[in-house]
Amino acid sequence: MDPILTTNILNVVYEVSTLAVVVLGLAVVFGLLGVMNLAHGEFVMIGAYCAFFVQTQSLPFLAAVPVALLVCIVLGLAVERILVRPLYARPFDTLLATWGLSMLLREGVEAVYGRGFKSVAVPLTDSIDVLGADYPSYRLLLAAVSIALVAGLVWWFVRSATGRRIRAVVNNRELAGSVGIPVTALARNTFIFGCCLAALAGVMLAPLLPVNPTLGLDFILKSFFVLVVGGLGSLVGLISGAGVIGGVESIVSAFLDRTYGYTTVLVIAILFLWLRPNGLFPRT
């Protein structure tokens, strides 16, 4: 196979799978709590800064994973209790509140680390020969971990008792409480889980991104586009949305440049909002 084509295909796979991890966190929280967390991108950003922090402490890269999870569990717990829970069933207020939170988190990180770009060293610097194309092994590993993570979570969601209970709450919150599902605790844990997933993506992506306080904005926008295109109904919608948005951006960026990539994604999202507002797989 043509090495350039292979590289492009691998780029699409990488882009789509990492995006899917971020969106999955956002979508699970929206599905269960009905809360669109506009600060979701900031949790990606915090994850990336955890990777940077670990590097400044001369710890191995993987140490960033427990650090990021710990930070996000504490932060998620506080945000859910103080901000999200009192505003259940008030979607517009939640949007404003989480948008405010996102600003607070950006400013907070900026106060500590400044506005400048930080770089995190790539843990694996070599590259692997894939069908004649020389591809960075860290990106390949990242795509593999992301795919495994999403596939594992989907499998768990479909097969486990907890997954079934989450689906039950999404379908019928009142009945779920009355059959004995601790709805409040489940919602809290799901919110924290969504934050942790974002942070995990942030850690993994940190070596490939200019780490700065505003990096979350890009992710929240793209995640929105994914949900607009895929619809909020199902995991299939989520993954196909990630496929369309991540794929198109990556392909157009490769053949033209990143600005065109971004513009195309924006146009697709607008067309979907206009012509097919419920996305490819609407919620039933």
Positions touching another protein (CB under 8 A) are 161, 164-165, 167-168, 170-172, 174-184
Q: What is the distance between the alpha carbons of residues 136 and 276, in angstroms, rounded to a whole number? A: 38
The least distance separating another protein from the CB of residue 174, rounded to whole angstroms, comes to 5
Q: Which two tokens stand for residue 56?
A: 């400044």
The least distance separating another protein from the CB of residue 100, rounded to whole angstroms, comes to 26
Is the Cβ of residue 118 or residue 173 nearer to another protein in the bound state? 173
DSSP 8-state class, residue 61? G
- CB–CB of 54/64 below 8 Å? yes
Q: What is the distance between the alpha carbons of residues 230 and 92, in angstroms, rounded to a whole number? A: 22
Is the Cβ of residue 154 or residue 170 nearer to another protein in the bound state? 170
Is the Cβ of residue 82 or residue 89 nearer to another protein in the bound state? 89
Angle formed by the axes of helices 40-56 and 91-113, to 10°? 20
Angle formed by the axes of helices 64-79 and 183-205, to 10°? 140
Is the Cβ of residue 112 or residue 175 nearer to another protein in the bound state? 175
CA 111 vs CA 50, 104, 114, 164, 220: distances in Å:
15, 10, 6, 42, 22
Beta-bridge mates of residue 127: 136
The least distance separating another protein from the CB of residue 190, rounded to whole angstroms, comes to 15
The least distance separating another protein from the CB of residue 173, rounded to whole angstroms, comes to 9
The least distance separating another protein from the CB of residue 33, rounded to whole angstroms, comes to 16
Is the Cβ of residue 87 or residue 268 nearer to another protein in the bound state? 87
